[in-house]
Structure 1
Amino acid sequence: MKLRFLSPGNHGIVDYLAAAALIVSPFILQLGSSNPSARWISVVAGIVVIIVSLATKYRYGAFKIIPFGGHLTLDLLAATSFMLVPFLFKLEGFDAAYYYINAAVVYLVVAVTASESVLADR
């Protein structure tokens, strides 16, 4: 099995599902016990994921402005931002864990996503 098995098209599906989860899950999980910002940072991140996804040049992008490689770079920036959120906003406990888990998931999704050049080599 190849490490990079997630196609750009399937990555797009993951993006929209992740955006919905980022918007809805802070309310379901009742984030905000250490800082009310914990809830709203996730919601804003979900909205940004939708905007970036709509602007990406892949199957589920509507405007096709951002090259897919640029999209993956933005994903890495988002994951790194998720890692920093608990420190910057002094989140503790479950609030902090939520962002660490999201960071790990985004890093993993980027790691298993095939770029166009990898797909062309197959």
Structure 2
Amino acid sequence: MPIKFVTKNIHAYLDYPVALALIGLPFLLGLGAVNPMALWLSVATGVAAFLLTVLTDHHLGLIRVVPYPVHMAVDLIVGLTFLAAPFLFGFAGLEAAYYWLNGAAVCIVIAAHKADAATQPAE
């Protein structure tokens, strides 16, 4: 039985700090010294994630025009892209580890997501 504990509210609280971390951590870690794409992929993804969160229809969204399932689909695409990024762009060492860890974390959060009671089918 899979463990499902990440609710829509928990996910919403994770979104803003994760977006800011994706923007700031590459600079703190010195990513991009070998391959500039390692820096800018994270920064661009962080900016996009911040905007997506602002636009998502959840309690912390400010404009609420993006349906939550679309937000979840984008998160999954980001997670899978981050897992593939070291192979696609030739990242190694810390740069590869950064993307593999972030990609795995996103995929775990998606896999641990608990459906809202309002959206669960009746049994």
Tell me whether 16-25 or 33-42 shows the greater mean CA deviation.
Answer: 33-42
TM-score (norm 1): 0.89
Question: Offset of 1:119 from its aligned partner?
Answer: 6.9
What is the deviation of 1:116? 2.5
1:76 equivalent in structure 2: 76
Amino acid at match of 2:96: A
Distance in structure 2 (CA, Å) of the matches to 1:73 and 1:49? 12
Which ranges of structure 1 fall in alignment gaps of 5 or more residues?
A: none
State how many pairs are aligned. Answer: 121
Structure 1 segments of 4 or more deviating over 4 A?
A: 117-121
**Structure 2 portions without partners, runs of 5+:** none
The Cα of 1:92 is off from its aligned counterpart by: 1.0
For residue 64 of structure 2, what is the aligned residue in structure 1? 64
The residue that corresponds to 1:20 in the other structure is: 20
1:29 counterpart residue number? 29
Identical-residue share of aligned pairs (%)? 34
Aligned residue identity for 1:68:
Y
Shift of 1:41: 0.9
Offset, 1:66 = 1.6
Q: Which amino acid counterpart does residue 88 of structure 1 have in structure 2? A: L
Task: Calculate the TM-score normalised by the size of structure 2.
Answer: 0.88
